[in-house]
Structures are given as structure tokens and as C-alpha cells.
């Protein structure tokens, strides 16, 4: 029975479903350390023969995915507007098939590839640093947006197979006015450094400090001071 329901669901979506293309710029602005877009000059250089990656959202929503990121080969350009042919097979969007004409705008592009027919390829944007190494952080920083209060760097843990390496950073959220047992009972998560920096990057200038470093925020001026100096 479930197979019949699934078949009917996909059939209805293929006949009546639609899609939207997500503007990625608000997401990049909200997550500057984990969501990178091509430079403005690169996007302006796109022309027929190049490929652009877009974020597609299904209407009605897909059961499996909030969105699918797929490539489109550009066939026509008119200022800010572009048209192309879908170059991927969607996983759960039966209303879209490879070769379907897609209209979009330059601001929708999340990634790009230059076409093979270019004699000279536009210069690439300077490489941006990625903060993929992991850290241990109080969940209140991630879930509640608590400001970073204290951080220290210890020897990294050995990486598990397939995991990103450990940076050695350990990060505590704002604990002013809290008892030690409350602070110690906080949930801790292992996440990429970029996720923490998206929320509070006031300490990013310290990120290359050596093992053994420790800093605490001076709440009067907002600056991080070496732990020994803050205790004096």
C-alpha cells in the first residue's frame, strides 16, 4: 500500500508540482564562515557554455529534502537574467528532469564552473579560509546565541575515521552569575569552528594561538585577555 501511495505522490508532483530557486545571499550573510559564494566579478563573467549551481526548492515540499543543489548549463544571458538547461537528475523532484529549461538571476548562483569553450578563463577570486576543524563548545552558544566567555586550546584529540580534525579549541559560553555545578552540567557539542564563528567571531583573531593558550573575555571592554592576566 505504501508503494502505491508513493507512486501517486510522485505522479501528482510530476503533473502539478513546481519549484522555486532560493536566493542564497541572505544565507551567506548569516553564515559568513561556512557558506561561501562566488565573487561578484566571477558571477558577472558568466556566459553561455558556463555552468551555475542553484538551490531548488520543491513546491509542494519534498518528503526527503528541504532543497536540492543542482547544476545548470547556461545557454542564454541578458544582463542580470540567465537561462540554462538542468544538468543534474533531481533526487526527489519529479517535476524536474535533466535538460529542463531553467530561468534564474545571477544573484541565485552559489557556485560556478567555466565552460570548456573559453579560450581565456576569468581570474578566480582569492581563496577564502575554511574553518572546518572541530572544537568542543557549550551548546548554549549554538542554540541560544550565548557570547563566548572563555576559551582554551589543548592538544587535539586523534581524529576518527572520516571526521574533520580536532582543532583543540574548547569554548565556554557566557557564565556570569552561574554556579560551577550549573556550568559543569551544560551540554557540549563537537562542531566545526565555522559554526561557532558564525555566531560569535569576536575571538577569530586568536584562532591560530598555540596549544596551551587560554583567554577570558573582559566584559567591561569586550576584549579577550590571557587567562593569567585576567586573573591578576
Q: Tell which wins on pLDDT, 113 or 59.
A: 113
Q: What is the mean pLDDT of residues 196-224?
A: 97
Q: What is the pTM of this model?
A: 0.82
Q: What is the mean pLDDT of residues 144-149?
A: 96
Coil vs helix vs strand at 153: strand
Residue 155 has pLDDT above 80, yes or no: yes
Residue 141 has pLDDT above 60, yes or no: yes
pLDDT at 208: 97
Q: What is the mean pLDDT of residues 164-192?
A: 95
> Is the previous residue joined to 60 through a cis bond, with omega within 30 degrees of 0?
yes
Residue 15 has pLDDT above 70, yes or no: no
C-alpha cell at 231: 586573573
What phi, psi does 15 have (nearest 5°)?
-80, -40
What percentage of the chain exceeds 90 in pLDDT? 75
Handedness of CA 24, 25, 31, 34 (dihedral sign): positive
Q: How confident is the model at residue 62 (pLDDT cuts 50, 70, 90)?
A: confident
Q: What is the mean pLDDT of residues 167-187?
A: 95
pLDDT at 163: 80
Contact partners, residue 114, CB within 8 Å, separation at least 6? 50, 121, 122
- Contact predicate 67/22, CB 8 Å: yes
Amino acid at each position: 500500500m505504501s508503494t502505491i501511495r508513493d507512486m501517486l505522490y510522485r505522479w501528482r508532483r510530476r503533473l502539478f508540482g513546481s519549484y522555486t530557486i532560493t536566493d542564497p545571499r541572505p544565507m551567506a550573510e548569516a553564515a559568513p564562515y561556512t557558506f561561501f559564494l562566488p565573487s561578484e566579478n566571477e558571477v558577472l563573467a558568466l556566459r553561455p557554455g558556463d555552468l551555475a549551481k542553484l538551490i531548488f526548492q520543491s513546491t509542494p515540499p519534498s518528503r526527503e529534502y528541504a532543497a536540492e543543489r543542482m547544476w545548470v548549463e547556461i545557454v542564454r544571458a541578458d544582463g542580470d537574467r540567465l537561462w540554462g538547461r538542468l544538468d543534474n537528475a533531481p533526487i526527489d523532484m519529479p517535476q524536474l528532469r535533466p535538460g529542463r529549461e531553467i530561468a534564474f538571476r545571477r544573484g541565485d548562483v552559489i557556485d560556478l564552473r567555466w565552460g570548456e569553450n573559453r579560450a581565456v578563463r576569468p581570474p578566480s577570486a582569492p581563496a577564502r579560509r575554511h574553518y572546518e576543524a572541530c572544537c568542543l563548545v557549550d551548546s548554549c552558544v549554538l542554540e541560544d546565541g550565548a557570547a563566548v566567555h572563555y576559551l582554551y586550546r589543548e592538544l587535539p584529540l586523534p581524529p576518527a575515521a572520516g571526521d574533520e580534525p580536532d582543532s583543540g579549541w574548547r569554548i565556554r559560553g557566557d557564565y556570569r552569575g552561574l554556579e560551577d555545578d550549573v556550568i559543569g552540567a551544560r551540554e557540549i557539542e563537537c562542531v566545526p569552528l565555522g559554526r561557532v564563528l558564525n555566531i560569535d567571531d569576536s575571538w577569530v583573531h586568536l584562532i591560530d594561538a598555540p596549544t596551551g593558550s587560554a583567554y577570558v573575555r573582559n566584559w567591561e571592554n569586550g576584549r579577550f585577555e590571557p587567562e593569567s592576566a585576567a586573573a591578576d
